[in-house]
Structure formats: C-alpha cells, structure tokens
C-alpha cells in the first residue's frame, strides 16, 4: 500500500508560456485535449440555445467553464479499464468517453437514436464499453456506487480505479461520509473529485460548509489524503489526477477538490443573477481554461489553427442538432425495453444490439 500523506493545498498554477518538453504527452495529444475542451464548450452553448428554443425540456445543467476538470482528469485514466461516475452535469464527460455528439444531442432531444434511446435525457448518459457508469441525478447518491465499483475491482484484483465526480454540495450528504469511511478503511482504488464551482445551486460553500476548504475534510477523518487543485488549468488537473490514480492503484484512495466555476446558472431555470455579481463572473472568466491553454502554448494554438478547429467543431455540433431533429421519438412499446439489463447469453436472448451495454465478457475474462 502506498504511504499515506497529509492533505495539501495546490501549488501555484502554471502561468505564461510553456515549452512542449515540459508536458508529459505529445503535441498531438495536447491538441486532442484542447479540442475536447473546445467541443465541450461549443456543444454546451448550442445545447443551451436549443433548450431556450424549446427543442427539448426537463432538467438541463450546463458545464460551461468547467471543461478543464473533465478533460484533464479523464486523460489520466485507462479508458475502458477504469470506471467513471459523475453527476447530472454530465454532457462533456459523455463526449469524452466515447458517445458521439450526435447521440448526446439526440438523447437530449429524447429521441430513439440517443445513447440511452431517449429514456435518460440530460442527466443520465451511459457507456458501458468505456466503463462510463453514467450521470446520476441524486446529489451524492452515486458515491456508494463508485465506492462499490472500487471494492469490486479490489476483490477481483483487476487493477481498475474508480473516478467519482461530485459537486461541492455533495460533501454534506451522509452517503459521502459513509462512502469515504469504507474507502479509507479498506484502501479502495478510488479517486473522489469534487468539482467545487463555489455554489451548490444558489448557496455558496462559505454559507453551507463549516469547513469551506473541502480538501481538508478527509485526511484525519478517513485517512484519505486531500488536495486542492486549480480546476481552471487542464494541465494541473491532469497531473494531480495522474498522481492520485497511481496512488489509488496502489491501495491509497485520494480526495481532490477542483476549484472551478460555472459561467451559467445551476440549471437552465436559474438565471444566476441573484446570488453572484457580474464582477465575480468576470473575474473567473479571466481564468478561462480554454484561453489559458492557448496562452500557455501560443506556437501550438495559433490563430489560424484554432479558427479551423472552431469551424470543424461548429459543423460537428450543427450536424448533431440536425441528426437529433430528424430522429424519431420512442414508441410507446419502448417503455418495456431496457427495464432489465440484457447481455449476451441472457435467457431468451442470444445477443444484445445495445452497443453501450456493460461489457460482461470483460468481467468473465477478469475472473480467469
């Protein structure tokens, strides 16, 4: 088991220009991660626009401003081996973890071509092939699920780590404390990430948390070292998560508090004008994660290069909207499908046509 360390606050963020030799991956990988952030930003902007045009309804929580957290942390995983659990603010996580923009938008439009066949909607994307165990609508309710996946991984000895995202309000839920107690007690391979965007709906952490520096909560209480990370810096997020994942694989669960900011309201029904000021939003926009990466590598992200990427992404998102508009709504009979999990070999069914089904064959191989 890895040596347990005390909780620590993040070091100062990387500022100014950087050299490619200073990053732990290739130039091509850096461009790919930048594109993921930019796609997430433009997709969410159009998503909000489509919602306002009443193309779909229900709950919808945008991720604009927080892209560096999902992109940087997922980049540190072995996709397909490690598990990812997140909250209802899950569109960008879904895009990174193998669900196409067309299928994400179709799911938002509640169409049969969506990744959950129109039954999940904004809060419930899922892709078993990449072990993306979905968005979850109950605040803190998925922390025991992620902890259970980590326990299963340790029990099987397959080396997988569970990554569990949550909002800052989740740390005051009982399930959070029960989960971390078990993870710390049993040395489970899990990394808990709090996307601390300063507000739980419209209530700030300063008003709702007796200890608003959330990273300090877990070290003494659960023997899980905590660290505060600049969630507006994709490279810092990546490095912090990479180290945390390494520790978790060695039996040391880790708690990361990612300080970030959502530019829009908690959901589409929240104008976000009564509990924060324009000046506050403006100050955080000056720390924008996409602009920050451009400033760090100006010779990579040139004006012409970014312009071409913008056009390409603009078309990809436009195609996703058309695909969603042209797709069919579920039939009434679809209410009986996907009630229980169907998998190859399930009695009465030879094979599943759901490409996002859980990869049970991987579990069988892991047992051998």
CATH for the 20-328 domain, from 3.40.50.970, 3.40.50.620, 3.40.50.1100, 3.20.20.110: 3.40.50.970
Q: Does residue 357 have a pLDDT over 70?
A: no
Pick from 147, 142, 197: nearest CA to 167: 197
Helix (H, G, I), strand (E, B) or coil at 167: strand
C-alpha distances out from residue 343 to 113, 205, 359, Å: 20, 43, 8
* Amino acid 368: pLDDT: 52
* Res 14: pLDDT: 58
91 pLDDT more than 50: yes
Report the C-alpha gap between 95 and 271 in whole angstroms.
26
The structure tokens listed for 345 are 């070999």
Q: Which pLDDT tens digit goes with each residue over 227-281?
A: 999 999 999 999 999 999 999 999 999 999 999 988 877 777 778 788 888 888 8
Per the CB < 8 A criterion, the answer to whether 186 and 108 are in contact is: no
The pLDDT score that the predictor gives to residue 59 is 87
Q: Considering only CA atoms, which of 53, 42, 50, 14 is closest in space to residue 236?
A: 14
- Strands 203-204 vs 199-200: parallel, antiparallel or unpaired: antiparallel
Burial class (CB in 10 A: 0-12, 13-18, 19+), 269: exposed
Segments making up each domain of the chain, as ranges: 20-328
Q: What pLDDT score was predicted for residue 225?
A: 96
Residue 16 CA to residue 330 CA, distance in Å, equals 50
197: its two tokens: 């965007």
- Is the pLDDT confidence value at 92 over 90? yes
Lowest mean pLDDT among 49-58, 134-143, 265-274, 345-354: 345-354
Average per-residue pLDDT in the chain? 87
What does the pLDDT read at residue 267?
76
Residue 244 corresponds to which tokens in the numbers above? 């945390």
pLDDT value at residue 183: 97
**Band (323; pLDDT cuts 50, 70, 90):** very high
pLDDT band at 19 (very low <50, low <70, confident <90, very high): confident
How confident is the model over 17-38, as a mean pLDDT? Answer: 93
| Interval 31-90: pLDDT, tens | 999 999 999 999 999 999 998 999 988 888 899 999 999 999 999 999 999 999 999 898
Neighbours of 76 (CB within 10 A): 21
Please count the other Cβ atoms lying within 10 Å of the Cβ belonging to residue 47: 25
DSSP lists the bridge partners of residue 79 as: 82
Residue 140, Ramachandran bin (φ over 0: left; ψ between -120 and 50: alpha; else beta): left
184-220 pLDDT, tens digit each:
999 999 999 999 988 878 777 877 787 878 888 898 9
Q: What is the pLDDT of residue 346?
A: 45
pLDDT at 12: 44
What does the pLDDT look like over 159-181, one tens digit per residue? 999 999 998 888 898 999 999 99
Residue 145 clears pLDDT 70, i.e. is over it: yes
Residue 349: which pLDDT band, with cuts at 50, 70 and 90? very low
**Cα(12)–Cα(285) distance, integer angstroms:** 18
pLDDT of amino acid 354: 56
Cα separation, 210 vs 197, whole angstroms: 17
pLDDT at 8: 64
Q: pLDDT band for position 351 (50/70/90)?
A: low
Q: Which two tokens stand for residue 265?
A: 């309201």
Q: Which of 11, 21, 13, 10 is nearest to 300 (CA)?
A: 21
Residues in the chain: 368
- What was the pLDDT predicted at 11? 45
Per-residue pLDDT, 31 = 96
**Main-chain dihedrals φ then ψ at residue 214, nearest 5 degrees:** -65, -30
The structure tokens listed for 316 are 């990809």
For residue 100, pLDDT over 70 is answered with: yes
């Amino acid at each position: 088991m890895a040596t347990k360390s005390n909780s620590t606050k993040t070091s100062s963020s990387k500022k100014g220009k950087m050299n490619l030799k200073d990053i732990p991956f290739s130039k091509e990988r850096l461009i790919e991660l930048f594109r993921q952030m930019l796609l997430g930003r433009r997709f969410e902007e159009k998503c909000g626009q489509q919602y306002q045009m009443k193309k779909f309804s229900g709950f919808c929580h945008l991720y604009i401003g927080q892209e560096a957290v999902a992109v940087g942390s997922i980049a540190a995983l072995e996709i397909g081996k490690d598990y990812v659990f997140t909250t209802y603010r899950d569109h960008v996580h879904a895009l990174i973890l193998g669900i196409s923009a067309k299928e994400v938008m179709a799911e938002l439009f509640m169409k049969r071509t969506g990744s959950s066949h129109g039954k999940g909607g904004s809060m419930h994307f899922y892709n078993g092939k990449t072990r993306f165990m979905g968005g979850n609508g109950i605040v803190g309710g998925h922390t025991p699920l992620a902890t259970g996946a980590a326990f299963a991984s340790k029990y099987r000895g397959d080396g997988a780590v569970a990554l569990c995202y949550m909002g800052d309000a989740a740390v005051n839920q009982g399930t959070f404390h029960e989960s971390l107690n078990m993870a710390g007690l049993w040395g489970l391979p899990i990394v808990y990430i709090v996307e601390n965007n300063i507000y739980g709906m419209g209530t700030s952490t300063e008003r709702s948390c007796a200890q608003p520096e959330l990273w300090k909560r877990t070290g003494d209480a659960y023997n899980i070292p905590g660290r505060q990370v600049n969630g507006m810096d994709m490279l810092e997020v990546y490095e912090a998560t990479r180290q945390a994942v390494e520790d978790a694989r060695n039996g040391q669960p880790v708690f990361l508090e990612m300080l970030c900011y959502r530019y829009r309201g908690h959901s589409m029904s929240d104008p976000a004008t009564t509990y924060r000021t324009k000046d506050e939003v403006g100050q955080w926009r000056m720390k924008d994660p996409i602009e920050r990466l451009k400033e760090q590598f100006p010779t990579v992200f040139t004006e012409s290069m970014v312009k071409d990427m913008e056009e390409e992404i603009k078309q990809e998102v436009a195609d996703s909207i058309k695909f969603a508009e042209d797709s069919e709504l579920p039939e009434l009979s679809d209410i009986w499908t996907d009630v229980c999990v169907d998998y190859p070999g399930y009695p009465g069914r030879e094979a599943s046509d759901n490409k996002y089904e859980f990869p049970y064959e991987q579990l069988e191989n892991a047992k051998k």
